[in-house]
């Protein structure tokens, strides 16, 4: 349900915890190096090879997919002066998104959110170190991330992307993460609209389940989006001097997006709370309708059945039974009883 | 339900997105140019013609209806030094209302709200650039806006309108937008009052639906009004020097109006939450009433029917059947049973 | 329900709107002029006559009842340098209570609250201009206000009233308005206590309606009391120098009263929310009780009726019918069935 | 329910209101005078006698029980330079707890809370004036207060009590008031635990009532405890210099206690909200259980009764009646019908 | 339920209260003394023996298990200049977690949380005094605490533990306490997931109870975690100079953990509130389903039973009884009635 990947109580702070299911899966190292004129892109087998290409005059985006090779991580940390606590947080992949300024770099933890099979949200932590001429990103898994469009824009060289420094790249990545929320919210919005229609027309038990699932997703999205806004806000007001004024304008834009997301999440929460009320009311209403039918039917026939029972009795002396128009009298009696009932029921507006 | 017009995850920031359904529909350019003495009003076919009339000594209100001609927009942006991110926000028409001060102008995003067929709210984004001697407004559609009365007042030359600068015009437009909320709230208030009466007198399923729709509208109005207040507040405390002190007094008035709107929305929310409780209670009460009738009828007749059933049995030896007053005894028995039941039911205050 | 007296979208700011239903009803002008030694009190037919008596060395309280004579209002505004926006707010009588400092006076909008026929709240806006040696008050209607006791105290000359300046008079009026809340809250408190007793003893549909009305009143009182506190708070911390330090001590006292009112309103809201829960629970409980009776009666008699039905059948060969003790055997069977049912029902604690 | 002792709308501020039911009951004056060496304790008949003993070199704690002797109060006020508004608040005994610094003393209004017959809370206002070498306390009633233990400690001379000044005494009294909350919360906690057990085991209507009463008490406790914390906080950060730094440390301790009380009250509120949900659910569950029994019984016997009714008919030609094994066939038919019903009911998991 | 261990109203502040059930259980004194080179660990019988080993050049962690030996506590307090109020708080073991800076040390009250038999939370107060070269910890019970891993790390001498001062040790202990929350939250998360599944599939009364218990635990966890965050926050921003800058970085990490815990608790609260709604809805749904069956069965058979009753009557003249196809006609009539009912019921979508 909610991913929890804590370190065991009492383990030393800044302990690197090898991930159990990961040892067989080596990390992938990629470097994207660019300035306004040129771009280089490559995958490396060893960190040494990669560092041989490192050029402090350009922007170097080093991406590491997979967090299992502790040795590698330690060497990277040493080379880029990463604080041990920060490195621990890279590995401990259920961190709350946050920004931590260190002397040598700014450490950003964020979460990419994926919507799988349109039912469940999955999260992947991405850890970003923003330094003078480099940007390190650590991802949990290979294969997917929210950054493909950033890469494309860098390759094409259009827009601002290539003219700016690493701080702009960090912004671009965060913006990519934030933009990933929108299609999820759209899908969810559609789902809620369907649930709404179902609820108002013909609620079933499955509707309740779908509504509950939507609410669960909203709780998760809320938990994911608020700290994301905090991150962007902290970077926007950065006091370390690593984030340029021009980038701050862009971060403000990103801040607006995430605020819009939070607004939507809160509105959807309000709407689904309202829908739960509607569901409960519908049930109550339906109960009444069913009850009304039962009561009307019973109220009509129970007295009549009693009357019929009376004239089915075998008493030796029952004058009515021998009346000439006894049977007609019975039906007349029935008509009177039914008529009275009808009148009462009508007045109560039950039929 | 909730309009969502995000740019695809990963598109470059400050990308201009042509609106799919819009290419055939050219933009309309209108200029209203005035000072205390004179006013000129005209529609132009080309931006160049319009700019030929531009006079920095007067207030120039340039209004663009329709956002499809990207070329035109780029030229306007260039001429008035609009930041690329701001231009992107003009096109991306589901922005959250906001104010962004740039070096050359103040960028305001607001939303006009329309109440269609008295059931659904629709929103239209209006983007405003407030500069030294000009005001640019970008609207999504031609034909309707919240500014007609502002134009009339400018034409008549009465009031403050013509004596003041572009900042006052910006205030007047925002005030027009805010005032558009009032008739909507009034209609909604009437609707809620009707719902209230229905609920307390004779609730039906349609009442529930109307109540739910009112709640939905309130969620939307809330989402629309809060950021609007933020806008006015930011402009009121403007630190860029573009908003004159005299205009700030008017903005304070506008701020009071939007605060009153927010107050009303919150009160209506409280009231409709209370109504939902009343509805649920009414259903429960009605259930009880129906049940009571069923129970009373059943409790009276079920024992009597059993007695009648007994004397309808065909046992060879049933002494009562042959009593002289057997039949009378039967009715006496019935009277006793019914009387006892009546007594019990009466004591429980069911009839 | 909620009074809404907005100006039409697009009317110029600071437009004076003549009140439709008011033209035949001229305004009443009264002046109370006093210092520590003497007091003069008079009603005037014309504003000129009144101003002839105006004495800047004394405190001049000019009260205007009725807002229909726009000419008169304009002349007063001109004489006392009232800002056009403030004058508009005087006429637009559904303003949110507020304080606005202008260069020449402090403008205070407040609401007097009346409790009519002990069911509905009505509000009357009172607009106060506090200047150097004068206090202007504008009321919507003649005949009633919250200030009669203030007038009495001025006449008697006891207490601080006559020794102080116009700022103290403004405080006295606000205090009069605040004190008007207490008897309303007391009546409401009594009503809630009655509702509580009814709900716990014998809830009916009327109880629900009364509870809902109490909740509605609380929403209105809340909306009225919060901005009132804001007013007093702003005046208490006044920075314009119009409110003397000695008066601030009294305003602090008034602030405590309005805080106490807000506290009470919030407590009553909590209590009535609790009562709604109790009502719902009571309904559920009652449903259960009714159901239980129905179920017990049905469970007893339905099987017995079946047995009686069996022996009323006309099969040619039914041995029991011809047993000597057949009828007795039938009653024994009934006793067994009823006994078993009784045992089960007893174990379930239904009787 | 909630004590409301407002002065009538329009009475002059700082009016002393004689308490209606009090004139026959004279005030009691007691003095406790101490320094580190000695302590004097006495009850006086007249204020003059008391003042004759007054010694500015020691701490003089003057306690007045009963607020009916307005003359006495006015003389005390004059002697100790009590502000008229403060004196009014002493008499108006439903003040919200508060601290008001005046030039000559600090005025503290607090509430002592008593738990009567373990059902209802009663409050008694205590007004404290903290001056240079004296502490005045005004209580509404004789006979009980929260200060008996403070007196004992003063008499014994142990602890800090006698070494410190009047500010420490004020702290000790407030601490006494705060500590009075704990046994009430404990009783309430026990009550809630009992209610919880009852609700989960066998909820009755009385349980609902008890739960509602607990909630009511919590609302009252909340209203009483929050302003109490404000008082202690204000005194702790006192800027008038009347509260010594050493006493502030003790007030911090007192602040922690009242924070703990508030925490508990909020937790209990959460718990009782949860219990109300449980109660509603239990009712719903019980309804279902009862309904299920009724439905099962009816579903079994109603069809069987119909079959029996059929063979009780008197048609001239009904072949089954004359079959040799007609009666056996009837029972077989019954068995089939009952078996089918049983199968269906079983599959739905109703029995 | 909620542990409440207040001192009796009126006891003197800073009173040491002997714990009733504790006198027979002497305290255990242990010392862990270390610097970067060496570590000493020992249990002592007397405080004098322990102080003989005390070395101000090293870090001295003195742990006292058991709070019954008041004499011992007083001697420790004297030796380490513990404020009497702080010592009282050590003994009064239901303090709200807090940090209090004194002149000679920083006093920290925290709570260790244990999850017993996976149902109930128990808390144990730990009081920490952080001084120049020492750290005192007071625990209520021997046998278990959250610090075992800290001890191990000190023994192993790895990591930062041994290089740092007492402030780092204080951090390590707090971190140990915070990390103890994670496995509890994990267990609770699993429990909630199970409850969720049960609720959506086949809710029973036990599910309700489990849900309620989960909510109770969440209320307790919330009450425990919020003040814990306050503690860490206060220490992080320490202004006394006792907490080194390097330790503050670690405290920030600890702060992130506790924030994550609070986030989780709030999310779980949201989820369980949603589950309660689902439970109530499920009950309502089930009621409807049961009712529907009852109504369908009754609606079918009650009219038929009446018809059968009619032809069981003994009127002398009932023509149908003597028709040749009377019996067939009866069944035809039944078929018509049943068919009509079926048609109605089908149209209402009840079967």
> What is the domain-level CATH number for residue B94?
3.30.460.20
Least confident window among B4-18, B332-346, D56-70, E14-28? B4-18
Q: Which helix (H) or strand (E) segment is B106 a member of?
A: strand B106-116
Q: Are residues B250 and B299 in the same domain?
A: no
Partner-chain contact C327 B317, CB within 8 Å: yes
Q: Name which of A92-96, B107-111, B307-311, E301-305 the model is least confident about.
A: A92-96
Q: C274 and C235, same structural domain?
A: yes
A8 assigned to some structural domain: no
Query: In whole angstroms, what is the distance from residue C343 CA to residue C349 CA?
Result: 10
pLDDT at B22 (0 to 100)? 47
DSSP assignments along C168-236, one per residue: HHHHHHHHHHHHTHHHHHHHHHHHHHHHHHHHHH---HHHHHHHHHHHHHHHHHHHHHHHHHHHHHHHH
Domain extent, residue B316, equals: 291-347
Is the pLDDT at E149 greater than 70? The verdict is yes
Residues C307-316 have a mean pLDDT of 88
In three-state form (DSSP H/G/I as H, E/B as E, the rest C), the secondary structure along chain A is CCCCCCCCCCCCCCCCCCCHHHCCCCCEEEEEEECCCCEEEEEECCHHHHHHHCCCCCEEEEEEECCCCHHHHHHHHHHCCCCHHHHHHHHCCCCCCEEEECCCCEEEEEEEEEEECCCEEEEEEEEEEECCCEEEEEECCCCCCCCHHHHHHHHHCCCCHHHCCHHHHHHHHHHHHHHCHHHHHHHHHHHHHHHHHHHHHCCCHHHHHHHHHHHHHHHHHHHHHHHHHHHHHHHHCCCCCCCCHHHHHHHHHHHHHHHHHHHHHHHHHHHHHHHHHHHHHHHHHHHHHHHHHHHHHHHHHHHHHHHHHHCCCCCCCCHHHHCCCHHHHHHHHHHHHHHHHHHHHHHCCCC
Token pair for D290 = 């009862």
- Under DSSP, is residue C241 helix (H, G, I), strand (E, B) or coil? coil
Distance CA E266, CA E218 (A): 8
Nearest residue to A313 via CA among B306, E320, E314: E314
Q: Give B-chain residues touching A291 at CB under 8 angstroms.
A: 287, 290-291, 294
Q: Give the strand pairing for B28-34 and A134-139.
A: unpaired
Q: Which residue of D has its CA nearest to E274?
A: D277
C-alpha B164 chain-centroid distance: 33
User: Quick one: B96 and B208 in the same domain?
Assistant: yes
Where a domain ends, among E265, E281, E297? E281
C259 to chain D: which residues are within 8 Å by CB? 96
| Cβ pair C4:B291 closer than 8 A | no
- Which of chain C's residues have a Cβ under 8 Å away from the Cβ of D302? 302
Burial of B331 (0-12, 13-18, 19+ CB in 10 A): exposed
| Encoded tokens for D224 | 């009483």
Residue C13 confidence (pLDDT): 61
**At residue C22, does pLDDT exceed 50?**
no
Interface of C with D in 280-309 (CB under 8 A): 280-282, 284-285, 287-288, 291-292, 294-295, 298-299, 302-303, 305-306, 309
Q: Which residues 7-46 of E are in CB contact (within 8 Å) with D?
A: 7-15
Q: Which residue of B has its CA nearest to A299?
A: B297
Which tens digits make up the pLDDT trace of D36-75?
A: 888 999 999 889 999 999 999 999 999 999 888 888 999 9
Out of D1, D95, D293, name the one closest to residue C193 (CB). D1
Tell me: the pLDDT tens digits for B78-96? 999 998 889 988 888 777 8
Contacts of C195 in chain B (CB under 8 A): none
Inside any domain, residue A1: no
Contacting residues of D for C257, CB less than 8 Å apart: 6
Give the pLDDT of residue C62.
Answer: 94
Residues 185-244 of C with CB under 8 A from D: 185-186, 189, 192-193, 196, 200
Residues A192 and A329 in one domain: no
Mean per-residue pLDDT of chain C: 86
Name chain C contacts of D10, Cβ cutoff 8 Å: 146-150, 152, 176, 179
Q: Which of A147, A288, A319 sits opposite B286 (nearest CB)?
A: A288
Q: Give the distance from residue B104's alpha carbon to the nearest chain C alpha carbon, in angstroms.
A: 28
DSSP strands (E only) in chain E: 28-34, 39-44, 59-65, 98-101, 106-116, 120-130, 134-139
Is D11 inside a domain boundary?
Answer: no
The answer to whether the CB atoms of D12 and C158 lie below 8 A apart is yes
Gap from C67 CA to chain D (nearest CA, Å): 25
Q: Would you state the pLDDT for residue A119?
A: 67
Residue A156 lies in a domain: yes
Whether residue C277 is found in the same domain as residue C327: no
Q: What is the mean pLDDT of chain A?
A: 86
Strand order in the sheet with E39-44: E39-44, E28-34, E59-65, E134-139, E120-130, E106-116, E98-101
Structure tokens at A302: 């129970």
Same domain for B199 and B230?
A: yes
Instruction: Give the neighbours of chain D: at least 3 Cβ pairs within 8 Å.
Output: C, E
In what side-by-side order are the strands of the sheet with C120-130?
A: C39-44, C28-34, C59-65, C134-139, C120-130, C106-116, C98-101
**Interchain CB distance below 8 Å, C286 and B288:** yes
Based on the domain organization, do D260 and D137 belong to the same domain?
Answer: yes
Q: How many residue contacts between C and D have a Cβ separation below 8 Å? A: 178
Interface contact flag, A314 E314, Cβ < 8 Å: yes
Distances in Å between the Cα of C306 and the Cα atoms of B309, C300, C330, D297, D318 are: 9, 11, 12, 12, 21
Phi/psi region, residue E118 (left: phi>0; alpha: psi -120 to 50; beta: rest), is left
Q: Residue E111: is its pLDDT beyond 50?
A: yes
Compute CA distances B136 → B65, B167, C348, whole Å. 11, 12, 78
Whether E167 and E234 share a structural domain: yes
Domain membership flag for residue D14: no
Q: Which residues of D touch C305 (CB under 8 A)?
A: 301, 305
The length of chain A is 351
The rounded percent of chain D whose pLDDT value lies above 70 is 91
Give the best residue of C11, C13, C111 to mutate against chain B (max B CB count within 10 A).
C13
- Written as six digits, the tokens of A227 are 């700290």
Distances (CA, A) of D104 to B214, D74, D100, D134, E53: 57, 16, 11, 11, 56
What is the band of A153 on the pLDDT scale with cuts at 50, 70, 90?
Answer: confident
Q: What is the pLDDT of residue A22?
A: 47
> Distance (Å) from the C-alpha of residue E289 to the closest C-alpha of chain D?
10
Q: For A249-267, how does the pLDDT look when each residue is reduced to its tens digit (9 = 90+)?
A: 889 989 999 999 999 999 9
Q: Say what the pLDDT of residue A139 is.
A: 92
Looking at the complex, report in whole angstroms how far the Cα of residue D176 sits from the nearest Cα belonging to chain E: 5
Residue B35 contacts residue B57 (beta carbons within 8 Å): yes
Same-domain check for residues D74 and D154: yes
- By Cβ distance, the residue of B278, B299, B314 closest to C212 is B278
Cβ of residue D79 closer than 8 Å to a chain C Cβ: no
Q: Which chains pack against B, by 3+ Cβ pairs within 8 A?
A: A, C
Distance, in Å, from the CA atom of C29 to the CA atom of C45, rounded to the nearest integer, reads 7
Mutate to test the interface with B, among C294, C317, C351 (most CBs of B within 10 A): C294
Residue B332's CB: how many other CB atoms inside 10 A? Answer: 11
| Residue E228 falls inside a structural domain | yes
Q: A240 to chain E nearest CA, in Å?
A: 16
pLDDT for C2: 53
Using a CB-CB distance cutoff of 8 angstroms, which residues of chain D are in contact with residue C180?
9
Per-residue pLDDT for E177 more than 90? yes
Q: Classify the phi-psi angles of E17: left when phi > 0, otherwise alpha if psi is within -120 to 50, otherwise beta.
A: beta
Q: Strand pairing partners for A30?
A: A43, A63
Which CATH number characterizes residue A333's domain? Answer: 1.20.58.340
Q: What number of other Cβ atoms are within 10 A of residue A160's Cβ?
A: 18
Query: Nearest-CA neighbor of C109 among C131, C136, C144, C84?
Result: C136
Clarify whether residues D198 and D57 are in a common domain: yes
Q: What pLDDT was estimated at residue E22?
A: 47
- pLDDT by residue (tens digit) across D335-344? 999 999 889 8
DSSP-derived pairing of the beta strands D98-101 and D120-130: unpaired
- pLDDT of C79: 92
**Between chains, do B12 and A277 touch, taking CB under 8 Å as contact?**
no
Contact across the interface for B216 and A271, Cβ inside 8 Å: yes
How far off is chain C from B9, nearest CA to CA, in Å? 39
- pTM of the shown model: 0.82
Does position C20 have pLDDT exceeding 70, yes or no? no
Total beta-carbon pairs less than 8 A apart between chain A and chain B: 177
Tell me the nearest-neighbour CA distance from E85 into chain D, angstroms: 7
Residue B227 lies in a domain: yes
Average pLDDT of every residue of chain D: 86
User: D75 burial class (0-12, 13-18, 19+ CB within 10 angstroms)?
Assistant: middle
- Confidence at D12, pLDDT banded by 50, 70, 90: low
CB contact under 8 A, E189 and A85: no
Instruction: Name which of A219, A279, A308 is nearest E309 (Cβ-Cβ).
Output: A308
Same structural domain, C144 and C197: yes
Classified as helix, coil or strand, C10 is: coil
Q: Mean pLDDT across the stretch B278-298?
A: 87
Closest A-chain CA to E341 = A297
Mean pLDDT of B176-200: 89
Give the pLDDT confidence score for residue D200 in this predicted structure: 84
Enumerate neighbours of E (3 or more CB pairs within 8 A): A, D
Contact (CB, 8 A) for B181 and B225 = yes
Q: In chain B, what residues touch A150 (CB-CB under 8 Å)? A: 10
- Under DSSP, the state recorded for B22 is G
Instruction: Give the HSE-up count for residue B276: Cα atoms under 13 Å, Cβ half-sphere.
Output: 22
Check residue C17 and give its pLDDT: 58
Residue B12, pLDDT above cutoff 80: no
Q: Where do the H-state alpha helices sit in C54-159?
A: 70-79, 84-91, 148-156
State whether the Cα torsion C85-C86-C87-C93 is positive or negative: positive
* pLDDT tens readout for residues B157-175: 766 778 888 999 999 999 9
Over the stretch D283-302, which tens digit does the pLDDT of each residue have?
888 888 888 888 888 888 99
What is the tens place of the pLDDT at every residue in E189-243?
Answer: 988 999 998 888 888 888 888 999 899 899 989 988 999 999 999 999 888 888 9
Whether D227 maps to a domain, the answer reads yes
C-beta atoms of E313 and A311 within 8 A: yes
Cβ–Cβ under 8 Å, residues D204 and D198: yes
In angstroms, the separation between the Cα of residue A61 and the nearest Cα of chain E is 26
* D136 and D255 co-located in one domain: yes
Best to test chain C binding among B151, B202, B253, B263 (most C CBs inside 10 Å): B253
Residue A94 with chain E: CB contacts under 8 Å? 260
Contact residues on chain A for E305, CB-CB shorter than 8 A: 301, 305
Asked if C4 and B288 come within 8 Å (Cβ–Cβ), the reply is no
Q: Which of B192-201, C62-71, C167-176 has the highest mean pLDDT?
A: C167-176
**Which of C120, C277, C116 lies closest to C213, judged by CA?**
C120
Q: How many domains does chain C have?
A: 2
Closest CA in chain A for residue E186: A4
Across A183-222, b (16+ Cβ under 10 Å) vs e yields ebbeebbebbeebbebbbeebeeebbebbbbbbbbbbbbb
Residue C335 CA to residue E286 CA, distance in Å, equals 34
| Binary contact (B9, A183; C-beta < 8 A) | yes
The string of pLDDT tens digits covering residues B15-63 is 665 554 545 667 889 999 998 888 999 999 889 999 999 999 999 999 9
């Amino acid at each position: 349900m909610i991913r929890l990947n804590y370190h065991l109580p009492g383990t030393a702070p800044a302990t690197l915890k090898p991930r159990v299911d990961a040892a067989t899966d080596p990390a992938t190292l990629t470097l994207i190096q660019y300035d306004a004129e040129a771009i280089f892109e490559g995958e490396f087998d060893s960190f040494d090879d990669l560092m041989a290409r490192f050029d402090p005059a350009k922007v170097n985006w080093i991406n590491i997919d997979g967090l299992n090779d502790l040795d590698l991580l330690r060497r990277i940390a040493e080379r880029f002066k990463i604080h041990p606590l920060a490195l621990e947080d890279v590995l401990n992949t259920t961190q709350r998104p946050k920004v931590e300024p260190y002397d040598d770099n700014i450490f950003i933890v964020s979460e990419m959110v994926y919507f799988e099979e349109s039912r469940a949200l999955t999260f992947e932590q991405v850890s970003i170190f923003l330094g003078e001429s480099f940007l390190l990103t650590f991802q949990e898994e290979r294969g997917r991330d929210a950054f493909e469009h950033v890469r494309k824009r860098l390759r094409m060289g259009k827009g601002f992307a290539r003219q700016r420094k690493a701080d702009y790249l960090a912004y671009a990545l965060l913006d990519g993460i934030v933009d990933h929320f929108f299609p999820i919210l759209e899908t969810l919005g559609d789902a809620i609209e369907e649930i709404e229609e179902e609820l108002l027309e013909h609620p079933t038990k499955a509707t309740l389940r779908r509504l509950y699932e939507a609410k669960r997703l909203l709780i998760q999205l809320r938990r994911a989006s608020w700290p994301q806004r905090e991150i962007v806000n902290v970077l926007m007001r950065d006091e370390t001097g690593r984030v340029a004024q021009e980038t701050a304008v862009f971060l403000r834009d990103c801040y607006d997006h995430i605020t819009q997301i939070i607004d939507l999440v809160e509105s959807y929460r309000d709407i689904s709370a309202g829908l739960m009320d509607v569901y409960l009311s519908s049930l109550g209403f339906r109960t009444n309708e069913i009850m009304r039918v039962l009561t009307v039917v019973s109220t009509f026939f129970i007295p009549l059945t009693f009357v019929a029972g009376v004239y089915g009795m075998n008493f030796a002396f029952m004058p009515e039974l021998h009346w000439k128009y006894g049977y007609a009298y019975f039906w007349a009696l029935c008509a009177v009883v039914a008529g009275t009932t009808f009148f009462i029921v009508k007045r109560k507006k039950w039929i």
